[in-house]
Structure 1
Amino acid sequence: MVKKQVNKVGVIAVGLSLCSGLALAQPSNDLGKIEFVNNCAACHGVDGKGNGVMGNLLRRSPPDLTTLAKNNNGVLPMNRLYEVMEGAGVPSHGVRDMPIWGKEYLVEESQRLREARGAYDAPAVVRARILTLLEYISRIQVR
């Protein structure tokens, strides 16, 4: 009986190690980077340094997002970045080249809600998308 349990444990261990090896071999989805490339890179550049292909069409050059913490005494101003992306405290008319992503995301998620016809928390998804983007911007900061 002990031998059977040892064999089962051995089979389970081998199975788990194979599964973990497969998981490591699969490419991971970097949702923050995907969000950044899809929504920010055109102006801020794929590297976040403000050198995107659309940057020269703007009234002001887009900032280098990789130096935000460095230019703020080593602290990434997450609350302010969230507010800018969500559109809080930003005039609805005026000189704003950057889209208000919170509103853009809400429109997208509202369309998904209509299509899903079920329980779907669009504001929570918008928050998650903005936070995912901010987490990525945090990772690209120069040290």
Structure 2
Amino acid sequence: MSMGLRVLTVALAATLPAQAQEADPRAGRDFFQTYCWQCHGKSGAGTGPMAEMLAIAPPDLTTLSDRNGGTFPTEQTLMQIDGRSPLLAHGGDMPIFGAFLEADQNVPLKVESGQPVLVSPELANLISYLQSLQGE
């Protein structure tokens, strides 16, 4: 293969979309049980030991789909978790563990519109776990 063809091949490969990494709800559960349960409760029902100290009660994360017409609100959920949409109860983004959701490489996560949104693998895993809680 000529040098010019190799450069063109590498350049074309760089423009292709990254392979979607399959989110792991078990890894998301581990993240949740480390960083989120204190407010949202072990089951995600909003009954964690810190919930009573908050001015705004944490939502029941097991009913997100029910409260959104039967569809899991992926985009709204990820935007609240990663700080793109501020949470009044947190004074903005989720400051306690926000740094743990940062990554050098992001993965695409498809939202309701069908468009991919780039998020950290940890956030993709957490969203996958929250989806698994629906209807429990």
Q: Matches of 1:100 and 1:80 in 2, distance apart?
A: 18
Tell me whether 1:56 sits opposite 2:49 in the alignment.
no
Q: Secondary structure at the match of 1:34?
A: helix
Which structure carries more relative contact order (alpha carbon 8 Å, separation 6+)?
A: 2
Residues 133, 58 of structure 1: alpha-carbon distance in 2 compared, 3 angstrom cutoff: same
User: Could you say which structure has the larger radius of gyration?
Assistant: 1
Tell me whether 1:70 sits opposite 2:63 in the alignment.
no
Q: Matches of 1:79 and 1:101 in 2, distance apart?
A: 21
Q: What is the CA-CA distance between 1:142 and the residue it aligns to?
A: 1.0
Q: What is the CA-CA distance between 1:127 and the residue it aligns to?
A: 1.2
Give the structure-2-normalised TM-score.
Answer: 0.63
Look up the match of 1:122.
104
Q: How does 1:40-55 map to 2 (within 5 A)?
A: 40-55=36-51
> For residue 106 of structure 2, what is the amino acid of its counterpart?
A
Tell me whether 1:33 sits opposite 2:15 in the alignment.
no
Q: Do 1:43 and 1:62's aligned partners in 2 also have CA atoms closer than 8 Å?
A: yes
Q: Secondary structure at the match of 2:100?
A: helix
Give the structure-1-normalised TM-score.
Answer: 0.60
Q: Do 1:44 and 1:52's aligned partners in 2 also have CA atoms closer than 8 Å?
A: yes
Of 116, 125, 130, the match for 1:132:
125
Q: CA RMSD in A?
A: 2.6
Q: How many residues align?
A: 99
Using the aligned pairs only, state the percent identity. 29
Q: Secondary structure at the match of 1:76?
A: coil
Q: Which runs of 5+ in 1 are unaligned?
A: 1-28, 110-120
> For residue 124 of structure 1, what is the amino acid of its counterpart?
N
Q: Do 1:85 and 1:102's aligned partners in 2 also have CA atoms closer than 8 Å?
A: no
Look up the match of 1:99.
94
Residues 58, 102 of structure 1: alpha-carbon distance in 2 compared, 3 angstrom cutoff: closer
> For residue 58 of structure 1, what is the amino acid of its counterpart?
L
Q: Secondary structure at the match of 1:80?
A: helix
Q: Which runs of 5+ in 2 are unaligned?
A: 1-24, 108-118
**Relative to total residues, which structure has the larger strand share, 1 or 2?**
2
